[in-house]
Copies of this chain bind each other. A is one copy, B any other.
Amino acid sequence: MRGRLGARPWLGRRAAGHPAAGRRGAGLLLAGLLAMSGAARAEPVALDRWGSFHVGGREAVISGQPAREVTFTPGGVPAKVDPNGTYLMGGMYAQYMIPANPRGGFPLLMWHGGGLTGVTWETTPDGREGWQHFFLRRGWPVYVSDAVERGRAGWGMIPEQTGGTPVVLPMDNPWERFRIGDGPGSFARQSTNPGVLFPTDPESYRNFVRQNVPRFTTTDALTLEAYLALLDRVGPSVVMVHSQAGQFGWRAAQERPEKVKALVLVEPAAVGDPAKVAALKDIPILMIYGDYIATDARWPAIRGNGLRFAEAVRAAGGTVDWVDLPERGIRGNSHMIMMDRNSDEVAALVQDWLAAKGLWR
Contact = CB atoms under 8 A, between A and B. Distances in A.
A123 B52 contact: yes
| Chain B CB within 10 Å, residue with most, of A72, A118, A155, A159 | A72
Contact of A87 (B51, B152, B170): B170
27 contacts: A44-B46, A44-B49, A46-B46, A46-B47, A51-B122, A53-B127, A54-B211, A68-B167, A70-B217, A72-B217, A72-B244, A74-B220, A74-B270, A75-B270, A75-B271, A79-B177, A81-B173, A87-B170, A91-B210, A118-B152, A119-B152, A146-B151, A151-B151, A152-B213, A155-B213, A157-B214, A159-B168
Contact of A217 (B71, B217, B220): B71
Contacts of A244: 72-73
Contact of A152 (B84, B151, B159): B151
Q: How many copies of the polypeptide does the oligomer hold?
A: 2
Interface in A151-190: 151-152, 154-159, 165-173, 177, 187
Given A46-B45, A54-B210, A88-B209, A156 B168 contact: yes
A211 B168 CA distance: 23
A212 interface: yes
